[in-house]
Amino acid sequence: MSAVKLTSNQYGKAENHVVRVYRDTPRHELRDLNVSSQLHGDFQAAHTEGDNGHVVPTDTQKNTVFAKAKEEGVTSPERFLLSLAGHFTSSFDWVTGGRWSAEEYGWSRIDGHDHSFFRSEPEVRTAVLVRDGTDDQLVAGFYGLTVLKTTESGFVGYPKDKYTTLGETEDRILATDISTRWRYSTTDVDFDEVYRRVRGIILSTFTDHYSKALQHTLYQMGQNVIDAVDEIEEIRFSCPNKHHFVSDLSPFGLENPNEVFYAADRPYGLIEATIAREEATERPDVWAAVTGFC
């Protein structure tokens, strides 16, 4: 038998979908979260000896999510994850940290009704907390926000070889699904307010310039977020270029001055970038933990 050792490990209960309704007045409020909890710590014996003495059951982790939603409420996904981390690391000496994540789904009132809602936000809000001892690293963001502009975008000046068929254009549709995450430098934050600000900055930046490429636009989005929000150290984007090709209508005797397009779902360009403060410390370990174990 080969000599082996246990290195990194974590475990927990994934995708606990909790809906917290506030019924203090006839006008109800709600928060809708999908929460995952994974613990880090001294779990060596569980793996090597089958000794479960330190294994806080995943069912207990699930129950804690729902109990904390009642006891402490849900003011923001980020604050709720900090509450869970504080509970597990203070309740069990051998739990030294963990990874807690949440997705939030946005609801709005139907015609201002007191207790009837519809799923209103096109994007899904995200938060991930990684705790290692006394160090907290908090990453927030969203995905699934589809945006499109019908002009003020082009793509020219790129290298060409014998395989290049794409023609240059100074007037095209630019469309993408925005997926973004930003890393906080502190947890002393009004998370809901910062989320609204970042979302607004990203949307307004998409509209306010002539885009020479999706890379050009993502960089300006990141620059504007960093400029406006002191608590953010860096921001990442992963965005497909949702190609819209001008349809050739000449066989039908029709001109097409950028009015009718074929929207191709694949293949697509995939543009990714990280924009950070000049003085920010790079934390590849945090991003690796945020994106998952395998």
Tell me which residues are annotated as active site.
Answer: 13, 58, 243
Scan for tokens 């589809």, then name that residue. 146
Can you list the pairs that 201-204 forms with residues at least 24 positions away whose Cβ atoms lie under 8 Å? 201/225, 201/228, 201/229, 202/145, 202/178, 203/145, 203/147
CB 123 within 8 A of CB 180: no
Which segments of the chain does DSSP mark as H helices, in order? Answer: 44-48, 58-71, 77-91, 191-207, 214-228, 284-291
CB 216 within 8 A of CB 156: no
| Closest by CA position to 214, among listed 290, 141, 158 | 158
CB 34 within 8 A of CB 16: yes
Beta-ladder partners of 102: 35, 127
Please state, in angstroms and rounded to a whole number, the distance separating the CA atoms of residues 174 and 150.
Answer: 7
CB 117 within 8 A of CB 109: yes
For residue 76, CA distances in Å to 33, 72, 104, 137, 200 come to: 9, 11, 9, 16, 18
